[in-house]
Copies of this chain bind each other. A is one copy, B any other.
Amino acid sequence: MSETPGLDEESGLHPFELLDAWEVLSTADRLEGFRLLGRHEAEDFFLGRDTEDQLALMLAMAPHERRSWMRLLPPDDAADLVQAAPADERDKLLALLDDASRREVTALLAYAEDDAAGLMTPRYARVRPDMSIDEAISYLRKQARERIETLSYVYVLDAEQRLVGVVSIRELFTAAHDKKVRDVMHAPVISVPEQMDQEAVSRTLRDSGLMAVPVVDAQDHMKGIVTLDDIVDVVEEEATEDIQKMGGTEGLDAPYLKIGMGEMLRKRGGWLAVLFLGELLTATAMGYFENEIAKAVLLALFVPLIISSGGNSGSQACTLVIRAMALGEVKLRDWWRVLRREFASGLALGFLLGSIGFIRILVWQAVFHPYGEHYLRIASTVGASLVGVVLWGTLSGSMLPFILRRVGWDPASASAPLVATLVDVTGLIIYFSFAALFLTGTLL
Protein backbone atom coordinates (compact mmCIF):
# COMPACT_ATOMS: atom_id res chain seq x y z
CA MET A 1 0.00 0.00 0.00
CA SER A 2 2.77 2.46 0.79
CA GLU A 3 6.25 3.37 -0.37
CA THR A 4 9.16 5.22 1.17
CA PRO A 5 9.04 9.02 0.97
CA GLY A 6 12.30 8.92 -1.04
CA LEU A 7 10.59 7.40 -4.03
CA ASP A 8 7.86 10.04 -4.07
CA GLU A 9 10.42 12.82 -4.14
CA GLU A 10 12.02 11.46 -7.29
CA SER A 11 8.89 12.00 -9.38
CA GLY A 12 9.03 14.89 -11.85
CA LEU A 13 5.50 16.19 -11.21
CA HIS A 14 3.56 16.94 -8.05
CA PRO A 15 -0.09 15.76 -8.00
CA PHE A 16 -1.26 19.31 -7.18
CA GLU A 17 0.42 20.64 -10.32
CA LEU A 18 -1.34 18.05 -12.44
CA LEU A 19 -4.66 18.81 -10.73
CA ASP A 20 -4.29 22.54 -11.38
CA ALA A 21 -3.83 21.99 -15.10
CA TRP A 22 -6.33 19.08 -15.30
CA GLU A 23 -9.29 20.97 -16.74
CA VAL A 24 -7.42 22.42 -19.70
CA LEU A 25 -5.54 19.25 -20.68
CA SER A 26 -6.60 16.92 -23.47
CA THR A 27 -7.09 13.27 -22.48
CA ALA A 28 -3.73 12.36 -24.05
CA ASP A 29 -1.95 15.11 -22.08
CA ARG A 30 -3.73 14.05 -18.90
CA LEU A 31 -2.47 10.51 -19.34
CA GLU A 32 1.04 11.80 -20.00
CA GLY A 33 0.97 13.94 -16.86
CA PHE A 34 -0.50 11.04 -14.90
CA ARG A 35 2.42 8.81 -15.97
CA LEU A 36 4.88 11.37 -14.57
CA LEU A 37 3.52 10.82 -11.05
CA GLY A 38 5.21 8.40 -8.68
CA ARG A 39 3.26 5.11 -8.40
CA HIS A 40 2.11 5.95 -4.88
CA GLU A 41 0.93 9.44 -5.81
CA ALA A 42 -0.62 8.15 -9.03
CA GLU A 43 -2.72 5.67 -7.03
CA ASP A 44 -3.98 8.39 -4.67
CA PHE A 45 -4.60 10.65 -7.63
CA PHE A 46 -6.49 8.00 -9.60
CA LEU A 47 -8.71 7.11 -6.63
CA GLY A 48 -9.55 10.80 -6.16
CA ARG A 49 -10.85 11.30 -9.73
CA ASP A 50 -14.54 10.88 -10.56
CA THR A 51 -15.79 7.91 -12.58
CA GLU A 52 -15.69 9.81 -15.85
CA ASP A 53 -12.04 10.87 -15.46
CA GLN A 54 -11.04 7.38 -14.35
CA LEU A 55 -12.72 5.86 -17.37
CA ALA A 56 -11.16 8.33 -19.81
CA LEU A 57 -7.68 7.64 -18.39
CA MET A 58 -8.20 3.87 -18.54
CA LEU A 59 -9.50 3.92 -22.12
CA ALA A 60 -6.53 6.09 -23.17
CA MET A 61 -4.09 3.51 -21.77
CA ALA A 62 -2.74 0.54 -23.69
CA PRO A 63 -4.81 -2.57 -22.76
CA HIS A 64 -1.93 -4.17 -20.81
CA GLU A 65 -1.65 -1.11 -18.54
CA ARG A 66 -5.31 -1.14 -17.50
CA ARG A 67 -5.33 -4.17 -15.24
CA SER A 68 -3.56 -2.72 -12.20
CA TRP A 69 -5.72 0.44 -12.24
CA MET A 70 -8.94 -1.51 -12.60
CA ARG A 71 -7.92 -3.71 -9.66
CA LEU A 72 -7.15 -0.65 -7.55
CA LEU A 73 -10.80 0.44 -7.54
CA PRO A 74 -13.12 -0.63 -4.72
CA PRO A 75 -16.02 -2.70 -6.12
CA ASP A 76 -18.65 0.07 -5.96
CA ASP A 77 -16.42 2.43 -7.95
CA ALA A 78 -15.48 -0.36 -10.35
CA ALA A 79 -19.19 -1.02 -10.94
CA ASP A 80 -19.79 2.68 -11.65
CA LEU A 81 -16.90 2.68 -14.11
CA VAL A 82 -18.18 -0.38 -15.97
CA GLN A 83 -21.65 1.17 -16.09
CA ALA A 84 -20.24 4.39 -17.59
CA ALA A 85 -18.12 2.58 -20.20
CA PRO A 86 -19.24 2.11 -23.84
CA ALA A 87 -21.15 -1.18 -24.23
CA ASP A 88 -18.34 -2.90 -26.16
CA GLU A 89 -15.74 -2.11 -23.46
CA ARG A 90 -17.69 -3.38 -20.45
CA ASP A 91 -16.84 -7.06 -20.68
CA LYS A 92 -13.19 -6.26 -21.37
CA LEU A 93 -13.04 -4.12 -18.25
CA LEU A 94 -14.73 -6.78 -16.13
CA ALA A 95 -12.26 -9.36 -17.44
CA LEU A 96 -9.40 -7.37 -15.88
CA LEU A 97 -10.64 -8.14 -12.36
CA ASP A 98 -9.78 -11.20 -10.32
CA ASP A 99 -12.60 -13.76 -10.03
CA ALA A 100 -13.78 -12.76 -6.55
CA SER A 101 -13.92 -9.05 -7.37
CA ARG A 102 -15.63 -9.70 -10.68
CA ARG A 103 -18.39 -11.60 -8.89
CA GLU A 104 -18.82 -8.67 -6.45
CA VAL A 105 -18.88 -6.07 -9.22
CA THR A 106 -21.27 -8.11 -11.37
CA ALA A 107 -23.60 -8.43 -8.38
CA LEU A 108 -23.51 -4.65 -7.85
CA LEU A 109 -24.23 -4.01 -11.54
CA ALA A 110 -27.58 -5.76 -11.10
CA TYR A 111 -28.81 -2.99 -8.82
CA ALA A 112 -30.36 0.33 -9.88
CA GLU A 113 -27.80 3.12 -9.64
CA ASP A 114 -29.86 5.31 -7.37
CA ASP A 115 -30.90 3.01 -4.54
CA ALA A 116 -29.03 1.92 -1.43
CA ALA A 117 -27.68 -1.25 -3.03
CA GLY A 118 -26.41 0.74 -6.02
CA LEU A 119 -24.34 2.95 -3.72
CA MET A 120 -22.97 0.29 -1.38
CA THR A 121 -19.66 -1.53 -1.23
CA PRO A 122 -19.63 -5.17 -0.07
CA ARG A 123 -16.18 -4.70 1.52
CA TYR A 124 -16.78 -3.93 5.17
CA ALA A 125 -15.13 -5.14 8.37
CA ARG A 126 -16.99 -7.93 10.24
CA VAL A 127 -16.69 -9.94 13.45
CA ARG A 128 -18.83 -12.53 15.28
CA PRO A 129 -20.67 -11.67 18.50
CA ASP A 130 -19.01 -14.44 20.53
CA MET A 131 -15.44 -13.45 19.70
CA SER A 132 -13.31 -12.02 22.51
CA ILE A 133 -12.04 -8.45 22.06
CA ASP A 134 -8.53 -9.69 21.31
CA GLU A 135 -9.79 -12.27 18.82
CA ALA A 136 -11.82 -9.57 17.12
CA ILE A 137 -8.85 -7.21 16.82
CA SER A 138 -6.59 -9.88 15.41
CA TYR A 139 -9.35 -10.98 12.99
CA LEU A 140 -9.63 -7.35 11.88
CA ARG A 141 -5.89 -7.11 11.29
CA LYS A 142 -6.32 -10.01 8.87
CA GLN A 143 -9.25 -8.34 7.10
CA ALA A 144 -7.30 -5.09 6.83
CA ARG A 145 -4.93 -6.85 4.43
CA GLU A 146 -7.76 -7.19 1.93
CA ARG A 147 -9.09 -3.97 0.55
CA ILE A 148 -11.96 -2.98 2.87
CA GLU A 149 -13.53 0.45 2.58
CA THR A 150 -13.31 1.54 6.20
CA LEU A 151 -12.23 0.11 9.53
CA SER A 152 -14.10 2.76 11.52
CA TYR A 153 -17.16 0.57 12.02
CA VAL A 154 -17.01 -3.14 12.58
CA TYR A 155 -20.27 -5.01 11.91
CA VAL A 156 -21.28 -7.93 14.07
CA LEU A 157 -22.88 -10.78 12.05
CA ASP A 158 -24.34 -14.02 13.35
CA ALA A 159 -23.75 -17.40 11.69
CA GLU A 160 -26.50 -16.69 9.09
CA GLN A 161 -24.83 -13.37 8.14
CA ARG A 162 -27.62 -11.44 9.86
CA LEU A 163 -26.61 -8.04 11.21
CA VAL A 164 -26.93 -8.11 15.02
CA GLY A 165 -24.77 -5.20 16.13
CA VAL A 166 -22.05 -2.69 15.38
CA VAL A 167 -18.98 -1.58 17.28
CA SER A 168 -16.46 1.11 16.46
CA ILE A 169 -12.80 0.28 16.16
CA ARG A 170 -12.24 2.77 18.96
CA GLU A 171 -14.58 0.91 21.26
CA LEU A 172 -12.78 -2.36 20.53
CA PHE A 173 -9.47 -0.65 21.26
CA THR A 174 -10.62 0.66 24.63
CA ALA A 175 -12.64 -2.36 25.83
CA ALA A 176 -11.34 -4.70 28.52
CA HIS A 177 -9.53 -7.69 26.95
CA ASP A 178 -11.68 -10.29 28.70
CA LYS A 179 -14.99 -9.02 27.31
CA LYS A 180 -16.77 -10.42 24.28
CA VAL A 181 -17.86 -8.45 21.20
CA ARG A 182 -21.47 -9.07 22.25
CA ASP A 183 -20.86 -7.11 25.49
CA VAL A 184 -19.58 -3.95 23.86
CA MET A 185 -21.55 -3.82 20.61
CA HIS A 186 -24.39 -1.39 19.91
CA ALA A 187 -27.79 -2.89 19.12
CA PRO A 188 -30.20 -2.34 17.46
CA VAL A 189 -28.24 -0.99 14.50
CA ILE A 190 -29.44 1.80 12.23
CA SER A 191 -29.58 0.19 8.78
CA VAL A 192 -31.26 0.78 5.42
CA PRO A 193 -33.09 -1.69 3.14
CA GLU A 194 -31.42 -2.43 -0.21
CA GLN A 195 -34.20 -0.84 -2.29
CA MET A 196 -34.23 2.44 -0.37
CA ASP A 197 -33.93 5.48 -2.64
CA GLN A 198 -30.57 7.26 -2.49
CA GLU A 199 -32.10 10.48 -1.17
CA ALA A 200 -33.62 8.60 1.77
CA VAL A 201 -30.33 6.78 2.39
CA SER A 202 -28.57 10.13 2.40
CA ARG A 203 -31.04 11.54 4.93
CA THR A 204 -30.77 8.46 7.20
CA LEU A 205 -26.98 8.44 7.18
CA ARG A 206 -26.80 12.14 7.90
CA ASP A 207 -29.40 11.99 10.67
CA SER A 208 -27.43 9.16 12.25
CA GLY A 209 -24.30 11.28 12.56
CA LEU A 210 -22.26 8.25 11.42
CA MET A 211 -19.68 7.89 8.63
CA ALA A 212 -21.30 4.74 7.16
CA VAL A 213 -24.62 2.87 7.28
CA PRO A 214 -25.16 -0.86 6.65
CA VAL A 215 -27.51 -2.12 3.90
CA VAL A 216 -29.64 -5.17 4.70
CA ASP A 217 -32.20 -7.30 2.88
CA ALA A 218 -35.69 -8.14 4.15
CA GLN A 219 -34.31 -10.89 6.44
CA ASP A 220 -31.68 -8.54 7.94
CA HIS A 221 -28.85 -10.22 6.03
CA MET A 222 -26.04 -7.74 5.64
CA LYS A 223 -25.31 -6.83 2.00
CA GLY A 224 -22.81 -3.96 2.28
CA ILE A 225 -22.26 -0.45 3.56
CA VAL A 226 -22.86 3.02 2.15
CA THR A 227 -20.17 5.49 3.22
CA LEU A 228 -20.40 9.24 3.61
CA ASP A 229 -18.22 9.98 0.56
CA ASP A 230 -20.90 8.46 -1.70
CA ILE A 231 -23.50 10.60 0.07
CA VAL A 232 -21.64 13.84 -0.66
CA ASP A 233 -22.02 13.02 -4.34
CA VAL A 234 -25.71 12.19 -3.88
CA VAL A 235 -26.37 15.50 -2.11
CA GLU A 236 -24.65 17.41 -4.90
CA GLU A 237 -26.34 15.45 -7.70
CA GLU A 238 -29.79 15.96 -6.20
CA ALA A 239 -29.16 19.69 -5.76
CA THR A 240 -27.96 19.95 -9.37
CA GLU A 241 -31.03 18.15 -10.65
CA ASP A 242 -33.32 20.40 -8.61
CA ILE A 243 -31.54 23.55 -9.75
CA GLN A 244 -31.72 22.56 -13.40
CA LYS A 245 -35.40 21.69 -13.15
CA MET A 246 -36.12 24.93 -11.32
CA GLY A 247 -34.37 26.81 -14.12
CA GLY A 248 -36.84 25.29 -16.58
CA THR A 249 -34.84 22.46 -18.12
CA GLU A 250 -34.70 18.71 -17.63
CA GLY A 251 -31.83 17.42 -15.45
CA LEU A 252 -28.80 17.26 -17.78
CA ASP A 253 -27.29 14.12 -16.12
CA ALA A 254 -23.88 15.14 -17.50
CA PRO A 255 -21.43 18.04 -17.11
CA TYR A 256 -22.48 21.14 -19.07
CA LEU A 257 -19.46 21.20 -21.39
CA LYS A 258 -19.55 17.46 -22.06
CA ILE A 259 -23.20 16.89 -22.95
CA GLY A 260 -23.88 16.59 -26.68
CA MET A 261 -25.57 19.48 -28.45
CA GLY A 262 -28.54 17.37 -29.61
CA GLU A 263 -29.17 16.02 -26.11
CA MET A 264 -28.89 19.54 -24.64
CA LEU A 265 -31.38 20.98 -27.15
CA ARG A 266 -33.81 18.16 -26.50
CA LYS A 267 -33.71 18.75 -22.73
CA ARG A 268 -34.08 22.51 -23.09
CA GLY A 269 -36.31 22.75 -26.15
CA GLY A 270 -38.97 20.41 -24.76
CA TRP A 271 -39.63 22.54 -21.70
CA LEU A 272 -39.29 25.84 -23.56
CA ALA A 273 -41.86 24.70 -26.11
CA VAL A 274 -44.30 23.62 -23.39
CA LEU A 275 -43.89 26.95 -21.63
CA PHE A 276 -44.31 28.74 -24.93
CA LEU A 277 -47.58 26.95 -25.63
CA GLY A 278 -48.76 28.05 -22.18
CA GLU A 279 -47.58 31.57 -22.85
CA LEU A 280 -49.56 31.66 -26.12
CA LEU A 281 -52.60 31.93 -23.85
CA THR A 282 -51.45 35.45 -23.01
CA ALA A 283 -51.99 36.39 -26.65
CA THR A 284 -55.51 34.94 -26.39
CA ALA A 285 -56.14 36.76 -23.12
CA MET A 286 -54.84 40.03 -24.54
CA GLY A 287 -57.17 39.47 -27.52
CA TYR A 288 -60.14 39.64 -25.16
CA PHE A 289 -58.99 43.06 -24.00
CA GLU A 290 -58.16 44.41 -27.47
CA ASN A 291 -61.03 46.91 -27.33
CA GLU A 292 -59.92 48.23 -23.97
CA ILE A 293 -56.37 48.66 -25.25
CA ALA A 294 -57.62 50.42 -28.37
CA LYS A 295 -59.60 52.88 -26.21
CA ALA A 296 -56.79 53.41 -23.69
CA VAL A 297 -53.41 52.63 -25.23
CA LEU A 298 -51.87 53.79 -21.94
CA LEU A 299 -53.02 50.48 -20.43
CA ALA A 300 -50.65 48.51 -22.68
CA LEU A 301 -47.63 50.38 -21.31
CA PHE A 302 -47.88 48.68 -17.92
CA VAL A 303 -48.54 45.14 -19.12
CA PRO A 304 -44.88 43.97 -18.98
CA LEU A 305 -44.45 45.55 -15.54
CA ILE A 306 -47.53 43.87 -14.09
CA ILE A 307 -46.91 40.37 -15.40
CA SER A 308 -43.20 40.35 -14.60
CA SER A 309 -43.92 41.40 -11.01
CA GLY A 310 -46.23 38.43 -10.64
CA GLY A 311 -43.63 36.16 -12.22
CA ASN A 312 -40.81 37.39 -10.00
CA SER A 313 -42.74 37.04 -6.76
CA GLY A 314 -43.95 33.59 -7.86
CA SER A 315 -40.41 32.43 -8.67
CA GLN A 316 -39.23 33.61 -5.30
CA ALA A 317 -41.94 31.82 -3.35
CA CYS A 318 -41.71 28.55 -5.27
CA THR A 319 -37.90 28.46 -5.04
CA LEU A 320 -38.01 28.89 -1.26
CA VAL A 321 -40.69 26.24 -0.79
CA ILE A 322 -39.08 23.68 -3.13
CA ARG A 323 -35.72 23.99 -1.40
CA ALA A 324 -37.30 23.79 2.06
CA MET A 325 -39.08 20.60 0.93
CA ALA A 326 -35.87 19.09 -0.44
CA LEU A 327 -34.13 19.78 2.89
CA GLY A 328 -37.02 18.22 4.80
CA GLU A 329 -37.80 21.51 6.55
CA VAL A 330 -41.29 21.61 5.06
CA LYS A 331 -43.52 18.54 4.72
CA LEU A 332 -46.72 18.02 2.79
CA ARG A 333 -48.78 18.49 5.95
CA ASP A 334 -47.26 21.97 6.46
CA TRP A 335 -49.16 23.38 3.47
CA TRP A 336 -51.55 25.36 5.62
CA ARG A 337 -48.75 26.99 7.65
CA VAL A 338 -46.96 27.87 4.42
CA LEU A 339 -50.13 29.24 2.88
CA ARG A 340 -50.74 31.54 5.85
CA ARG A 341 -47.12 32.71 5.84
CA GLU A 342 -47.14 33.34 2.11
CA PHE A 343 -50.47 35.14 2.26
CA ALA A 344 -48.96 37.60 4.70
CA SER A 345 -45.71 37.85 2.70
CA GLY A 346 -47.55 38.25 -0.60
CA LEU A 347 -49.74 41.01 0.78
CA ALA A 348 -46.79 42.88 2.27
CA LEU A 349 -44.66 42.52 -0.85
CA GLY A 350 -47.64 43.47 -3.03
CA PHE A 351 -48.16 46.68 -1.07
CA LEU A 352 -44.44 47.43 -1.33
CA LEU A 353 -44.39 47.13 -5.14
CA GLY A 354 -47.85 48.65 -5.51
CA SER A 355 -46.72 51.76 -3.60
CA ILE A 356 -43.57 52.11 -5.69
CA GLY A 357 -45.66 51.80 -8.87
CA PHE A 358 -48.27 54.29 -7.64
CA ILE A 359 -45.64 56.86 -6.67
CA ARG A 360 -43.73 56.39 -9.94
CA ILE A 361 -46.84 57.31 -11.94
CA LEU A 362 -47.55 60.39 -9.81
CA VAL A 363 -43.92 61.57 -10.12
CA TRP A 364 -43.81 61.03 -13.91
CA GLN A 365 -47.13 62.84 -14.25
CA ALA A 366 -45.80 65.81 -12.25
CA VAL A 367 -42.64 66.00 -14.38
CA PHE A 368 -43.61 64.83 -17.91
CA HIS A 369 -47.48 64.86 -17.86
CA PRO A 370 -47.77 61.69 -19.98
CA TYR A 371 -50.95 60.21 -18.45
CA GLY A 372 -53.56 62.98 -18.99
CA GLU A 373 -56.30 64.09 -16.62
CA HIS A 374 -57.16 60.60 -15.30
CA TYR A 375 -53.64 59.87 -14.02
CA LEU A 376 -54.90 59.17 -10.50
CA ARG A 377 -57.23 56.45 -11.79
CA ILE A 378 -54.39 54.95 -13.82
CA ALA A 379 -52.09 55.02 -10.81
CA SER A 380 -54.81 53.31 -8.75
CA THR A 381 -55.33 50.65 -11.43
CA VAL A 382 -51.60 49.87 -11.56
CA GLY A 383 -51.14 49.98 -7.78
CA ALA A 384 -54.13 47.75 -7.01
CA SER A 385 -53.17 45.32 -9.80
CA LEU A 386 -49.66 45.02 -8.39
CA VAL A 387 -51.03 44.11 -4.95
CA GLY A 388 -53.32 41.53 -6.53
CA VAL A 389 -50.77 40.08 -8.94
CA VAL A 390 -47.95 39.83 -6.39
CA LEU A 391 -50.26 38.21 -3.84
CA TRP A 392 -51.53 35.79 -6.47
CA GLY A 393 -48.02 35.03 -7.75
CA THR A 394 -46.75 34.37 -4.24
CA LEU A 395 -49.65 32.07 -3.39
CA SER A 396 -49.45 30.14 -6.68
CA GLY A 397 -45.68 29.82 -6.46
CA SER A 398 -45.78 28.52 -2.91
CA MET A 399 -48.69 26.09 -3.40
CA LEU A 400 -47.67 24.59 -6.75
CA PRO A 401 -44.83 22.49 -5.21
CA PHE A 402 -47.34 21.04 -2.69
CA ILE A 403 -49.77 20.15 -5.46
CA LEU A 404 -47.03 18.51 -7.53
CA ARG A 405 -45.80 16.49 -4.55
CA ARG A 406 -49.35 15.53 -3.64
CA VAL A 407 -49.93 13.98 -7.07
CA GLY A 408 -46.56 12.23 -6.86
CA TRP A 409 -44.46 14.49 -9.12
CA ASP A 410 -41.15 16.10 -8.30
CA PRO A 411 -41.91 19.49 -6.67
CA ALA A 412 -38.77 20.88 -8.35
CA SER A 413 -40.62 20.67 -11.67
CA ALA A 414 -42.41 23.81 -10.45
CA SER A 415 -39.71 25.79 -12.19
CA ALA A 416 -39.56 29.56 -11.94
CA PRO A 417 -40.50 29.81 -15.66
CA LEU A 418 -43.51 27.51 -15.16
CA VAL A 419 -44.83 29.63 -12.32
CA ALA A 420 -44.15 32.80 -14.30
CA THR A 421 -46.13 31.42 -17.24
CA LEU A 422 -49.07 30.40 -15.06
CA VAL A 423 -49.11 33.77 -13.37
CA ASP A 424 -48.80 35.77 -16.62
CA VAL A 425 -52.23 34.83 -17.94
CA THR A 426 -54.00 35.32 -14.63
CA GLY A 427 -52.02 38.53 -14.07
CA LEU A 428 -53.49 39.99 -17.26
CA ILE A 429 -56.99 39.15 -16.12
CA ILE A 430 -56.39 40.76 -12.72
CA TYR A 431 -54.98 43.88 -14.38
CA PHE A 432 -57.77 44.40 -16.89
CA SER A 433 -60.39 43.72 -14.21
CA PHE A 434 -58.99 46.50 -12.05
CA ALA A 435 -58.83 48.69 -15.16
CA ALA A 436 -62.55 48.08 -15.78
CA LEU A 437 -63.26 48.92 -12.14
CA PHE A 438 -61.30 52.17 -12.01
CA LEU A 439 -61.54 53.43 -15.59
CA THR A 440 -65.04 52.56 -16.88
CA GLY A 441 -66.81 55.81 -17.66
CA THR A 442 -63.61 57.77 -18.05
CA LEU A 443 -60.99 56.15 -20.30
CA LEU A 444 -62.98 52.95 -20.99
Contacts and interface: CB of A to CB of B under 8 A. Distances in A.
Interface of A: 1-2, 4-5, 8, 14, 19, 23-24, 40, 44, 47-48, 140-141, 144-145, 148, 150-152, 165, 167-171, 173-175, 182-188, 206-211, 227-229, 231-232, 235-236, 239-240, 242-244, 246-249, 252, 255-258, 261, 264-265, 268-269, 271-273, 275-277, 279-280, 282-283, 286-287, 290, 293-294, 297-298, 300-305, 307-309, 311-313, 315-316, 318-324, 327-331, 333-334, 337-338, 341, 344-345, 348-349, 352-353, 356-357, 360, 370, 390, 415-417, 420-421, 424, 428
Given A170-B151, A269-B349, A315-B416, A232 B211 contact: no
Contacts of A19: 207
A399 to B, nearest CB: 14
A308 B307 contact: yes
Q: How many copies does the complex hold?
A: 2
A232 B206 contact: yes
B273 A345 contact: no
Contact of A327 (B236, B312, B337): B236
Contact residues of A: prevailing secondary structure: helix
Given A165-B5, A169-B151, A356-B277, A303 B303 contact: yes
Contacts of A293: 293, 297, 300
Contacts of A242: 243
A305 B265 CA distance: 21
A144 B352 contact: no
Contact of A421 (B175, B235, B273, B308): B308
Contacts of A231: 232
A283 B309 contact: no
Contacts of A307: 304, 308
B247 A229 contact: no
16 contacts: A144-B170, A152-B152, A211-B211, A232-B235, A239-B240, A246-B247, A247-B316, A257-B324, A265-B349, A268-B349, A275-B308, A286-B300, A293-B300, A304-B304, A308-B424, A312-B420
A255 B320 CA distance: 10
B301 A290 contact: yes
Contacts of A206: 229, 232
Contact of A316 (B47, B268, B300): B268
Contact of A44 (B151, B186, B331, B338): B186
B185 A170 contact: no
Contacts of A235: 232, 235-236, 239
Given A301-B290, A420-B311, A316 B211 contact: no
A144 B174 contact: yes
A296 to B, nearest CB: 10
Given A23-B331, A334-B257, A280 B305 contact: yes
Given A151-B170, A329-B257, A240 B323 contact: yes
A272 B313 contact: yes
Contacts of A211: 150, 211, 227-229
A233 to B, nearest CB: 8
A208 B41 CA distance: 11
